[in-house]
Amino acid sequence: MSDNQESMSNAFRVFIAEAPKHAQAWMAAAKSLDEACALDRKTEALAYVAVLAALGLDSGIPFHVAQAKEAGASREELISAVLIGLPAGGNVVTRSLPAAIKAYDSPGG
């Protein structure tokens, strides 16, 4: 997990502040799943962005775009990750494209 606090959603910041024990348990599970993942960091981060886009969970996009960028993902790879769900999920994934591009192009992204 990245420590990129400025790209973390407000909802997740509130979760950490208001339910620290739950947040700690969640982060421990996420860390264990991350350690079990056989994908390289860039592929994992891009796949995560693709899943968020497919589920319409845009609040997590900036944080995970920052992780993908830190892992070496290009802007074009990021766009492809967001749009890879088009055949299965339809154009709902395009709703996440503006947030992903904005996060990638931002100085902290």
pTM confidence score: 0.83
Which residue shows structure tokens 């997740």? 12
Q: Does domain 5-105 have CATH number 1.20.1290.10?
A: yes
Q: Which residue ranges make up each domain of the chain? A: 5-105
Residues of the chain below pLDDT 70: 1-5, 109
CB 97 within 8 A of CB 78: no
Q: pLDDT value at position 9?
A: 84
Distance CA 50, CA 68 (A): 11
Q: pLDDT value at position 96?
A: 95
Tens digits of residue pLDDT in 70-89: 999 999 999 999 999 999 98
What value, to the nearest 5°, has the Cα angle with vertex 74 and ends 40 and 98? 110
Helices (H) and strands (E) in the chain, counts: 7, 0
Q: pLDDT value at position 8?
A: 84
User: In this structure, what are the phi and psi dihedrals at residue 56, rounded to the nearest 5 degrees?
Assistant: 70, 30
The beta strand positions in the chain, using DSSP E, are none
